[in-house]
């Protein structure tokens, strides 16, 4: 029996526009980003972050090089975590801990800014970027982004395996339970759990 393939539909609907000069510039920026993400030796960039920011970044992590990613003094990035950006700033304050196996990303249009004493458990995902995807006559990859960014206050605990979606703001002192999916703002000193995350108690 012949199987219907959607590949042809997408090829028809999703024909890509010819490249403009701006697109050429963007392609160059993409190459620079690729070099910053993949070609800078880890030990070199960890040393730069130690001397520039006073941060301790595991040699087994992958923090994008350049001026867009910054950490405060005493902040630690543990092994196998990735911190990257497509153009927005990613900034953590002083004495933060980014646990092992985190994926932390900003898009090109907004920033991810965190305060001091933010503790992040292992396997946390923070996505400060949103793709436009409503139109079905264009490939998602061609619809661009509408990044809102993420703000995280100080003295925040983000439990293991939590995911923070673009646009949320986490108030000072909030606790995000392990495995939570945060889609909205979390008030200061709230304890939230679940998917989507809801307030279940308050720090007092």
Ligand X SMILES: CC(C)(COP(=O)(O)OP(=O)(O)OC[C@H]1O[C@@H](n2cnc3c(N)ncnc32)[C@H](O)[C@@H]1OP(=O)(O)O)[C@@H](O)C(=O)NCCC(=O)NCCS
Among 25, 54, 194, 196, binds ligand X (CB under 6 A): 194
Query: Per CB under 6 A, which region of 68-76, 77-85, 105-113, 176-184 contacts ligand X?
Result: 176-184
Stretch that binds ligand X, among 11-19, 25-33, 35-43, 188-196 (CB under 6 A): 188-196
Q: What are the residues facing 63 on neighbouring strands?
A: 83
**DSSP structure string for the chain:** -PPP-SHHHHHHHTPPPPPPHHHHHHHHHHHHHHIIIIIS-HHHHHHHHHHHH--EE-TTSEE--SSSEEE-TT-EE-TT-EEEESSS-EEE-TT-EE-TT-EEEE-SS--EEE-SS-EE-TT-EEEE--B----SSS-GGGS-B----EEE-SS-EE-TT-EE-TT-EEPTT-EE-TT-EE-S-B-TTEEEETTTTEEEEE--
Does 159 participate in binding ligand X (rule CB under 6 A)? yes
User: Minimum CB separation from ligand X for residue 152, in Å?
Assistant: 15
* Dist. CA 199–CA 201, nearest whole Å: 6
Cβ proximity to ligand X, 110 vs 175, nearer residue: 175
Q: Is 101 in the site for ligand X (CB under 6 A)?
A: no
Interaction between residue 178 and ligand X (CB under 6 A)? yes
95 scored as a contact of ligand X (CB under 6 A): no
Q: Say whether residue 113 binds ligand X (CB under 6 A).
A: no
| Options 160, 172, 181, 189; binder of ligand X; rule CB under 6 A | 160
Residue closest to 104 by CA, chosen among 88, 90, 121: 90
Q: How far is the CB of 178 from ligand X (least distance, A)?
A: 4
Asked if 125 is part of the footprint of ligand X (rule: CB under 6 A), the reply reads no
Q: Compute the distance between CA of residue 113 and CA of residue 171 in angstroms, rounded to an integer.
A: 12
Choosing from 89, 94, 95, 119, the residue that interacts with ligand X (CB under 6 A) is 119
- Applying CB under 6 A, does 177 fall inside the site for ligand X? yes
Residue 76 in contact with ligand X, rule: CB under 6 A: no
Length of the chain in terms of residues written? 204
Cβ distance to ligand X smaller for residue 115 or 121:
121
Give residues in contact with ligand X (CB under 6 A).
Answer: 119, 121, 159-160, 175, 177-179, 191, 193-194, 200-201
């Amino acid at each position: 029996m012949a199987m219907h393939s959607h590949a042809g539909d997408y090829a028809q609907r999703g024909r890509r526009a010819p490249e403009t000069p701006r697109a050429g510039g963007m392609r160059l920026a993409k190459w620079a980003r690729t070099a910053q993400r993949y070609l800078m030796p880890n030990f070199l960039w960890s040393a730069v972050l130690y001397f520039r920011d006073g941060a301790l970044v595991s040699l087994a992590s992958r923090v994008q090089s350049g001026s867009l990613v910054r950490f405060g003094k005493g902040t630690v990035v543990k092994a196998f975590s990735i911190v990257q950006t497509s153009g927005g700033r990613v900034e953590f304050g002083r004495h933060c801990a980014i646990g092992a196996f985190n994926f932390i990303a900003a898009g090109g249009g907004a920033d991810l800014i965190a305060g001091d004493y933010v503790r992040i458990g292992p396997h946390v995902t923070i996505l400060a970027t949103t793709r436009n995807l409503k139109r079905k006559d264009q490939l998602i990859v061609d619809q661009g982004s509408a990044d809102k960014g993420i703000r995280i206050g100080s003295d925040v605990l983000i439990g293991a395996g939590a995911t923070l979606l673009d646009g949320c703001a986490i108030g000072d002192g909030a606790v995000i339970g392990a495995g939570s999916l945060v889609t909205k703002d979390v008030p200061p000193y709230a304890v939230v759990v679940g998917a989507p995350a809801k307030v279940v108690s308050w720090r007092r």
